[in-house]
Structure 1
């Protein structure tokens, strides 16, 4: 029996697995308009918060002082593939700041981009924090600390001024009391923020209509979201939904993925914010979910839907590269009037 808030995994014609989805659509006034599942549940935003985490880079003056381009600032919001275009830009920014890449405290993991990993192996090179998908975010944090004359060795600690500025920005943009934000530790070692799903959506709605945030913050937010949309390849990379979605959006949408099945979108045309969370944390279900939501909201043209169809109904392939199933979102957005 099909439930109405899931993304089903079909093998052939049978449902093999299901992923429960929670989703909120909020306008710039803070009104919940549509939802799926439980829109008020608290979730860790994970990397979906990176556009907000980048705000102090601009507001402190660090971005201007170190001459950040759109691509540089976009990289600060990234969960990147570790392609050459990402790692070379991280090194370029660090050189401008006057910091070695050994100062990065994001830890190491295998680069997402397999060609990068193969080249490291072939050249007998070590996997360093440079290749971490969060190295751009950490570079932005280091830039802020260096500009403000703060300690560099512990910039990732929750009590460091860098992280205190960030949690304050999260609280203000999402209009949620700072003392009620749950703080955990993210995969890259910095604080991660827990808020109700609809507050995440509201934060992205406010970033999509930044004039309501006041002159200084409006300027910073516009610079960050425009940078993401102007250089979307920095946010994810080749064959990544964030990058392909913003390319298809042609300057209208900004979006950011977070680990454990989180995704947030801001629509600069309507001022809507959308936040989604896959309950079991499986990221494969979140792109079909958000694609289904924005399709039902009629935010995309037919051409854009066609460009992004592989994310809406992703095909399952076996080891022979044969299509053997697909992911299918099964829900109808509910009106918040009935919530």
Structure 2
């Protein structure tokens, strides 16, 4: 099945651009209850997979052995902006492990946070690996790696850390992994069908502590992300704003190249979507539209308006048009 038109941009009376893609909503049993486009399309979830990549950290006992807090669990699932609230916690985490920035394998990244970006520009400092948006995930990898006593190159696809991640990925998606790509942070990113990823997110939504090791780990990660929305992205970021706006009803998480997921524990629903041209503005619009459709977000909320129905302005502030979901698609 082909991609469907999801988002359109209007400039005056002219439809100037359109974004196509795929989306699924799954229930707690893992069944696809709604779909747009091709639910069976094989995709890379990119950073939307981080809560799965963190599963071995908890299930192995490494997180509890290291005394990790809910803040650290949230950071392990984060694609953060490199603000001080993120880098300071990553540095302390490394210090607690007896490690330094050089033990990370994610690579340095110029921070998206404006204040930290300006601080680096006005100093003699260069971005470090803790500024990398994936540094929390990598601190989690290092914690697991120390617990199991494996070698330092923990991002190698055949390393025990990544083999554990792949096994968890296949279990929660219910699929044999068809392959992987190397993410921007140098770690493997395992593929699955869009329906399989929606199934995994629904599993997180249905998970409850006290129902076994797997569900307990999933529930703890979701609760940590909901408790610390500023840590999973950053101020002004869609993940943080939407998760904060949901007020404990769920969590949303972006992935590069137009990917997004939502986990809604109260409804026991998982969402996964992929915008084919990889555009973040479109994936933010679609995930917001789906949250509105599901009744967990008011269409009148300022965050919903900003992400779902933003006005397009000229550089002088003139109203030139609008971005919006394709009419009738998510109504």
Residues 201 and 270 in structure 2, CA contact (< 8 A), matched pair in contact too: yes
Residue in 2 that maps onto 1:250: 247
- The structural deviation recorded for 1:332 is 4.1
- The structural deviation recorded for 1:252 is 1.3
Taking the aligned partners of 2:209 and 2:140, their CA distance within structure 1 comes to 25
- The structural deviation recorded for 1:119 is 0.5
Residue in 2 that maps onto 1:328: 324
- The structural deviation recorded for 1:15 is 1.7
The residue correspondences of 1:218-237 to structure 2 (distance < 5 A) are: 218-237=215-234
Residue in 1 that maps onto 2:21: 21
- The structural deviation recorded for 1:319 is 3.7
- The structural deviation recorded for 1:233 is 0.6
1:299 matched to 2:282 = no
3-state SS of paired residue (2:169): helix
Q: Larger deviation: 14-23 or 320-329?
A: 320-329
Of structures 1 and 2, the one scoring higher in RCO (CA 8 A, sep 6+) is: 1
Taking the aligned partners of 2:134 and 2:314, their CA distance within structure 1 comes to 30
The residue correspondences of 1:138-153 to structure 2 (distance < 5 A) are: 138-152=138-152
1:121 matched to 2:124 = no
Residues 162 and 325 of structure 1, relative CA distance in 2, 3 Å threshold: same
The residue correspondences of 1:50-65 to structure 2 (distance < 5 A) are: 50-65=50-65
Query: CA offsets, 1:126-163, max 9 Å, x none?
Result: 112111111111111011101211112x1011000000
Taking the aligned partners of 1:255 and 1:75, their CA distance within structure 2 comes to 14
Query: CA offsets, 1:231-290, max 9 Å, x none?
Result: 111000110111111111111112210000000111111111111100111111011111
Taking the aligned partners of 1:39 and 1:221, their CA distance within structure 2 comes to 23
Taking the aligned partners of 1:239 and 1:23, their CA distance within structure 2 comes to 25
- The structural deviation recorded for 1:298 is 2.3
Residues 173 and 213 in structure 1, CA contact (< 8 A), matched pair in contact too: no
- The structural deviation recorded for 1:105 is 1.0
Aligned-residue Cα RMSD (Å) equals 2.1
Across the two proteins, how many residue pairs are aligned to each other? 329
1:308 matched to 2:304 = yes
Residues 319 and 129 of structure 1, relative CA distance in 2, 3 Å threshold: farther
Residue in 2 that maps onto 1:104: 104
1:83 matched to 2:80 = no
Residues 317 and 299 of structure 1, relative CA distance in 2, 3 Å threshold: same
Taking the aligned partners of 1:301 and 1:279, their CA distance within structure 2 comes to 27
- The structural deviation recorded for 1:122 is 0.7
- The structural deviation recorded for 1:308 is 2.7
Q: Larger deviation: 310-319 or 17-26?
A: 310-319
Residues 45 and 192 in structure 1, CA contact (< 8 A), matched pair in contact too: yes
- The structural deviation recorded for 1:323 is 4.3
Taking the aligned partners of 2:139 and 2:4, their CA distance within structure 1 comes to 42
Residues 280 and 95 of structure 1, relative CA distance in 2, 3 Å threshold: same
Taking the aligned partners of 2:213 and 2:225, their CA distance within structure 1 comes to 19
3-state SS of paired residue (1:308): helix
Q: Larger deviation: 108-117 or 317-326?
A: 317-326
The residue correspondences of 1:237-276 to structure 2 (distance < 5 A) are: 237-276=234-273
Structure 1: segments with no counterpart, 5+ residues: 335-339
1:198 matched to 2:206 = no
Residues 94 and 101 in structure 2, CA contact (< 8 A), matched pair in contact too: yes
Taking the aligned partners of 1:269 and 1:5, their CA distance within structure 2 comes to 29
Residues 4 and 21 in structure 2, CA contact (< 8 A), matched pair in contact too: no
TM-score w.r.t. the length of structure 1 is 0.92
Residues 43 and 191 in structure 2, CA contact (< 8 A), matched pair in contact too: yes
Residue in 2 that maps onto 1:167: 166
3-state SS of paired residue (2:326): strand
Structure 2: segments with no counterpart, 5+ residues: none
The residue correspondences of 1:271-290 to structure 2 (distance < 5 A) are: 271-290=268-287
- The structural deviation recorded for 1:109 is 2.4
